[in-house]
Structures are given as structure tokens and as C-alpha cells.
Amino acid sequence: MIKIDFEINRDGNTFRDAIVLEDNHNLTEEQIEEIKEKRFQDYLIAIQPQEEQEEINEDKSQEGEI
């Protein structure tokens, strides 16, 4: 198993997390970066006030993402 610790600092928000993968994972660096970005975006949604989260979910459902 390998552990990839990462931190993203953007627009005054700091997010720290880790990705744990099997030694023989088949992910590319690009795919790992996409995972990091997805987790950061999920974090931003989670820290927003409830009203803003509902608006984002409505937008995503209209775009077919949910």
C-alpha cells in the first residue's frame, strides 16, 4: 500500500487529505490529480451554508450530474 498525502490551498481554503492505493495500482498521475481535485471540490461544497449546497445540487441535477 502507498499513501499519498496532499494539501490544496486555494482562495483562502486549505484542504489536507491522503489517498491510499495498492502498490500495483494502475492510476496515472493525471487520474490521481483528478481524485485530489474531486475531493477538494467536495470539501468546498461541504463547508458552504446549506442554502448554497441546495443551489449547487439543483444545478448539478439540471446538468445531469446527479
Give me 18's grid cell.
491522503
pLDDT above 60: residue 66: no
Residue-level length of the chain: 66
pLDDT in tens, 11-42: 999 999 999 999 999 999 999 999 999 999 99
Q: Indicate whether this model's pTM tops 0.75.
A: no
How is residue 6 annotated by DSSP? Answer: E
Q: Are 18 and 3 in contact (CB under 8 A)?
A: yes
pLDDT in tens, 41-59: 999 999 887 766 566 667 7
pLDDT band at 65 (very low <50, low <70, confident <90, very high): low
